[in-house]
């Protein structure tokens, strides 16, 4: 199994009254709540933590894109990835990803990702995302009904720009270019492509049609994830494709400590902060036209038997630390307990790519660094045997080789 380091760059200075006084964490959140110098220090902390993860043996370092939000203050994942490309040596740069429909012209994505692949010597994973409704419809003004068409047109342009040997003209509905001739080209031709999602059937078909990796973005517990993950694998089998675990990535918040009591003491407040400050009112989260009728029907079918009350209690901060753990919102405890829980999750869901959330909410850097070290030395090495017999074409060859070589130099401990 492979591990990719990730954290939402959540602003950590929001007041305790934030969820009550400011019900939205996106689009119209008051700018006065955010101190720009503090944000800069926050970015530098994330870079240090990812540099540490690279040394400790993570397979990838993941960055994402969101707009006008305090929950994930990463409007340009390519800028953050550029900081990592020249300051890390082994892990893949998992840019998951660029919101293609927001770029005009989207050829800019092809150019910037090629730059990243060149700078990192072929370690880029190119993530293409549709974007949340808050990002696309409200922050950037893309009509929801046009989102998927714009995304697919941009995806076609970008992938052709990476592989066409000669300049070409592109005459799309939304982008018209007389000359397309991206320079430089990426080292990988093309880089592996991942597309994250939250359960839309159209996204499933896209990744299976194009042989991309599907990244399920799960923050709301195992019970919520099961029907979506099962639906994806059912779709794979229905289409007669290989159920290779490496074609799916799964996101999981992880909190490791020497004892369970220490885990609760160190991570409890940060977990509650994370879940209570990511609210999106319904009028921002579900604009008409954003989700197709087929996907709405599929989501309603999956929702049967899943407790929405647990999800609401989580976002209101009404769960105890170990309730968050019991419901699968987090996996916490000693290295041995975390190893066991992750093995059970990976086997049940058939996940080969784990996106580990090692920092959450307002967690201090010292605790996040401890989390990295305990996971990197006492958890991850003991789960490498999972799915070891399956090929992984969705991770760059260069990063796979370098991570494997680095593993021999990283001490493995057992507790």
Nearest to 226 by CA among 297, 307, 150, 314: 307
Q: Give the count of beta carbons closer than 10 Å to the beta carbon of residue 367.
A: 18
The three-class DSSP label of residue 254 is strand
Facing residues of 2 across strands? 353
Domain spanning 2-407: CATH 3.20.20.30:
yes
Q: Is 100 exposed, middle or buried (0-12, 13-18, 19+ CB in 10 A)?
A: buried
In the chain, the largest separation of any two C-alpha atoms, in whole Å, equals 63
Query: Is-contact 85 93, C-beta < 8 A?
Result: yes
Domain map (residue ranges) of the chain: 2-407
Unique residue bearing structure tokens 């319904």: 282
Distance CA 126, CA 97 (A): 7
pLDDT in tens, the chain (415 residues): 999 999 999 999 988 877 778 878 899 999 999 999 999 999 999 999 999 999 999 999 999 999 999 999 999 999 999 999 999 999 999 999 899 999 999 999 999 999 999 999 999 999 999 999 999 999 999 999 999 999 999 999 999 999 999 999 999 999 999 999 999 999 999 999 999 988 888 999 999 999 999 999 888 878 888 988 999 999 999 999 999 999 999 999 999 999 999 999 999 999 999 999 877 777 888 888 887 777 777 666 655 444 678 888 998 899 999 999 999 999 999 999 999 999 999 999 999 999 999 999 999 999 999 999 999 999 999 999 999 999 999 999 999 999 999 987 766 666 5
The structure's pTM equals 0.94
- 380 neighbors 412 (Cβ within 8 angstroms): no
Output the six-digit token pair for 2.
Answer: 């492979």
CA distances to 180, 224, 258, 371, 378 from 337, rounded to whole Å, are: 53, 22, 10, 14, 11
């Amino acid at each position: 199994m492979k591990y990719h380091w990730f954290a939402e760059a959540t602003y950590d200075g929001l007041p305790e009254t934030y969820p009550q006084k400011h019900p939205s964490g996106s689009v119209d959140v008051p700018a006065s709540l955010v101190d720009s110098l503090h944000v800069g220090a926050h970015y530098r902390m994330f870079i240090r933590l990812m540099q540490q993860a690279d040394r400790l043996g993570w397979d990838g370092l993941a960055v994402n894109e969101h707009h006008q939000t305090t929950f994930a203050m990463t409007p340009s994942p390519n800028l953050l990835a550029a900081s990592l490309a020249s300051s890390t040596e082994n892990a893949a740069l998992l840019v998951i990803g660029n919101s293609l429909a927001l770029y005009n012209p989207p050829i800019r994505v092809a150019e910037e990702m090629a730059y990243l692949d060149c700078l990192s010597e072929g370690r880029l994973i190119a993530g293409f995302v549709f974007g949340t409704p808050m990002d696309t419809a409200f922050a950037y003004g893309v009509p929801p009904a046009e989102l998927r068409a714009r995304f697919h047109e941009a995806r076609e342009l970008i992938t052709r720009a990476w592989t066409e040997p000669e300049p070409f003209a592109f005459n799309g509905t939304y982008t018209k270019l007389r000359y397309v001739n991206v320079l430089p080209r990426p080292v990988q031709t093309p880089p592996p492509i991942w597309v994250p999602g939250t359960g839309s059937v159209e996204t499933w078909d896209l990744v299976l049609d194009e042989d991309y990796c599907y990244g399920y973005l799960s923050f709301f517990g195992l019970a919520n994830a099961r029907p979506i993950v099962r639906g994806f694998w059912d779709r794979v089998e229905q289409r007669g494709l290989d159920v290779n675990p490496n074609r799916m990535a799964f996101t999981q918040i992880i909190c490791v400590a020497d004892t369970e009591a220490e885990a609760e003491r160190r991570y409890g407040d940060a977990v509650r902060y994370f879940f209570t400050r990511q609210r999106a009112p319904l009028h921002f989260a579900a604009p008409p036209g954003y989700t197709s009728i087929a996907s709405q029907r599929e989501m309603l079918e999956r929702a049967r038997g899943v407790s929405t009350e647990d999800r609401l209690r989580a976002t209101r901060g009404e769960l105890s630390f170990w309730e968050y753990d019991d419901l699968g919102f987090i996996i916490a405890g000693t290295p041995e307990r975390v190893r066991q829980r992750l093995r059970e999750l990976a086997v049940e869901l058939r996940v080969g790519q784990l996106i580990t959330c090692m920092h959450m909410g307002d967690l201090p850097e010292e605790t996040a660094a401890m989390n990295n070290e305990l996971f990197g030395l006492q958890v991850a090495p003991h789960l490498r045997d999972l799915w070891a017999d399956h090929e992984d074409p969705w991770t760059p060859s260069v990063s796979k080789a370098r991570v494997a070589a680095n593993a021999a130099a990283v001490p493995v401990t057992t507790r």
